[in-house]
Amino acid sequence: MVAKPEKEARSKNNKDKLSFQAVLNEIARWRWEIIWGGAAFLVMFTTFFLSLMPQPVGLQAGDVSPIDIKAPREVIDVAATEALRQQAAANVPEQWEKDPKVLADLKAQVSTFRETVARLQAGTPTTQEIIGSLRPFLGESMSDSDIIALAASQPELLDIGIAKLIAVLEEGLGAGIKSENLASAKAEMVAALASSPEIPASISKALGSFVEKNLKANWVLNEESTERERRKAAEAVEPVRIRRGQFIVREGDIVTDEQMAILEELGMVGPRVRFTAVAGALLMSALVIGIVYFYLRAHHPDVLGSQKVAVLSSVLMVSVVAIGGMAAFSGFLIPAATGVLLVSTLFDRRFGVLFSACMTLVAGTVTGFDVRFMALALSGGLTASLILRSDWNRMHLIRAGFVVALTNTATYIGLGLTGTVPWDDILSWRDMLMVMVDGPFSAVLAVGLLPLFEAAFGIITPIKLLELSNPEHPLLHRLLLEAPGTYHHSIMVANLAEAAAMAIGADSLLARVGAYYHDIGKIKRPYFFTENQIQGMENPHDKMSPTLSATVIMSHVKDGLELAREHKVPQVIQDFIVEHHGTMLASYFYNKAAESSDRVPEEWDFRYEGPRPRSKETAVVMLADGVEAAVRSLSKPTPARIESVVRKIINDRLLDHQLDRCDLTLKELDIVSETFTKVLAGMFHTRIEYPEQKAK
């Protein structure tokens, strides 16, 4: 009974350990992404926070300002806004309304008064009963004798007076009577009753006394409605905004309490670290990092586990720092296009579009979300990502910078035409000059940073490829001088590979440069390869065993890799050296060994070590290498024979499983075959015989 709970406890502990270990393993797996992502987040947060922390000013109310002080960001002038709201509330009139109950109560009281008089007239009351019954309805101006006289008045005349009283009350209360006008309203009603000729003086006096005692104001103040309307009027007032760059205090002005309140709101006096600034910097940093991460996760998941994460994080950090630094000088010189150009060249042009949106958010954060600078950053960034071609070079980057300048200029003028920016600002030559300079400045900055990224991360770019393709490169120069046949063969292979790669949408420049270097290892033993042997020269393989010959021939791959590493050739070019033969069989020496021995030789002794091609470009170079050598050996290279040889070579590589690891499709292989045939037919075309040749 005890063992079962102990077993369950141990099982639970083991599960906890496994789950904790799984978390640790997951963290270890993503450690570089976490490190680089965290570094980018930290740099971005610091930049945002510093941009939201303005320079402090040591001023107090009543001091004379020694400098001009401008608002580093947009802020609401609380004092001015509150003054306008109070004024708007004060301008709302009081909400008065009539109380119909006042007139109804008076009419009921008049009816009771008439019934009381009629009851007294119908009976034989004593003097005290008459006075006691009517005194509650009349004012102090009525003497006891007047009250007794009222009770003795004729009923018909009293009814006429009562009707007149009701008419006077309806007229007066119908117009409305306020409390402050109550005394004058009573006097007017009393005078109206007294001036009525059909009413005896004793009755009109009693009715006037009734009015003096019982009349009330029926035009009352609705405090709730008045407060509600005043609150609406105050809320409708637009806040007074201090715009970014607007003067708060001029040099030589005496600082007022209102100006100090604005400076405190901006954080330029008093406590500098504001919670809102910290929270805003954290939120915007997380937003930008999150957008980049989820884009890569959705469209380029392979990037998250590669070195490109470090490249993208570095570009992001450099871009944010550059934008934050230039924003402190002028928002018109924010190099938002720099990061876009770097991302488009180092990674992917489509990602450059998303990156331009991220840089717009960055520019907005460091400039207080000024619509001018955000619009320029977005238009310039999008233009930079769209104008750049896949086969770019440094001049293309500079050209993109000038196109960005034109786009920024058009955008800024558009802001003026739509009324977003005042025309006075648009016509300012200083601002317009900075708008036009921003594009070339961003391009020059990108060109200057590219070599740093290439060196730091070993990135291969079109510019780097063009540098590697220079015939004056030490390795290519040695190949030309020491192995001229191999050099010519590499040029032919490069032409074939470039044309085929371009036809299937692969990187044609990479394929060309990779072909230049694929046989670079033949420099060490050039005369062991037939293309470098001079006519009449003895073939060294005639005195060597097939196994040794195969070893020497296949060693050019390892020799080439050593030379490439010695001369700091990028890894992507080294892949062409080790993959252009894959694991193919050195069939000539294998067959020779089989013929010279009764025992069947071991096939793997005559196969290259590989690996097999892992990209379209290296696969195309492998096919071009085999095709060029085979076609060159044809005695009569007609187009039909060339096509037959090309398709046989490609089919042999396919059946030998050399193309299993690259993503070439059968349709693309057919396109490659047609391209090779077309190019080779042009290379080995038949020349016409000139008259001199015929005569000879």
CATH of residue 391: 1.10.1760.20
Q: What is the pLDDT of residue 14?
A: 54
Whether residue 301 is found in the same domain as residue 202: no
pLDDT, residue 21, reads: 55
pLDDT on residue 1: 44
Say yes or no: 296 and 215 in one domain: no
Integer angstrom CA distances of residue 593 from 549, 555, 596: 10, 18, 5
Structural domain range at position 408: 276-458
**Residue 393: is its pLDDT beyond 80?**
no
- The domain boundary residue, chosen from 221, 242, 261: 221
Quick one: angle between helices 571-579 and 508-517, nearest 10? 60
CB atoms within 10 A of CB 584: 19
Could you please report the per-residue DSSP string of 106-174? Answer: HHHHHHHHHHHHHHHHHS---HHHHHHHHGGGS-TTS-HHHHHHHHTS-HHHHHHHHHHHHHHHHHHHH
Decide if 631 is inside a domain.
yes
Res. 265: pLDDT tops 80: no
Q: pLDDT grade, residue 2 (50/70/90)? A: very low
Beta strands 69-70 and 247-249, pairing class? antiparallel
Residues of the chain with pLDDT > 90, as a percent, come to: 32
Among 397, 426, 458, the domain boundary falls at 458
Contact 384, 400 (CB under 8 A): yes
Lowest mean pLDDT segment, chosen from 7-21, 158-172, 516-530, 534-548: 7-21
CATH of the domain at 628: 1.10.3210
Based on the domain organization, do 441 and 493 belong to the same domain? no
Whether 399 and 480 share a structural domain? no
The CA-based angle 189-195-198, given to 5 degrees, is 115
Is residue 31 one of the residues assigned to a domain?
no
Q: What whole-number distance in Å separates Cα of residue 266 and Cα of residue 71? A: 8
In single-letter form, the type of residue at position 310 comes to: A
Greater model confidence, 425 or 352 = 352
**Can you read off the two tokens belonging to residue 144?**
């006891």
**For 559, which DSSP code?**
H
Residues whose CB is less than 8 angstroms from the CB of residue 562 and which lie 6 or more positions away in sequence, other chains included: 521
Q: Do 502 and 412 share a structural domain?
A: no
- Same domain for 288 and 192? no
Residues 519 and 445 in one domain: no
Q: pLDDT digits over 405-452, tens only? A: 999 999 999 988 888 777 777 777 888 899 999 999 999 999 888 888
- Considering the domain architecture, whether residues 301 and 449 belong to the same structural domain is answered as yes
Of 221, 239, 256, the last residue of a domain is 221
The tally of domains found in the chain comes to: 3
Q: Is residue 141 part of a domain?
A: yes
Taking the C-alpha atoms of residue 158 and residue 147, their distance in angstroms, rounded to an integer, is 13
686: its two tokens = 């038949």
Alpha-helix runs per DSSP H in 273-335: 275-299, 308-327
> How far, in Å, are 481, 484, 528, 578, 618 from residue 487 at the CA level?
9, 5, 15, 18, 18
Model confidence pTM above 0.95: no
Q: Are 540 and 434 in the same domain?
A: no
Q: How far apart are CA 375 and CA 369, in angstroms?
A: 10
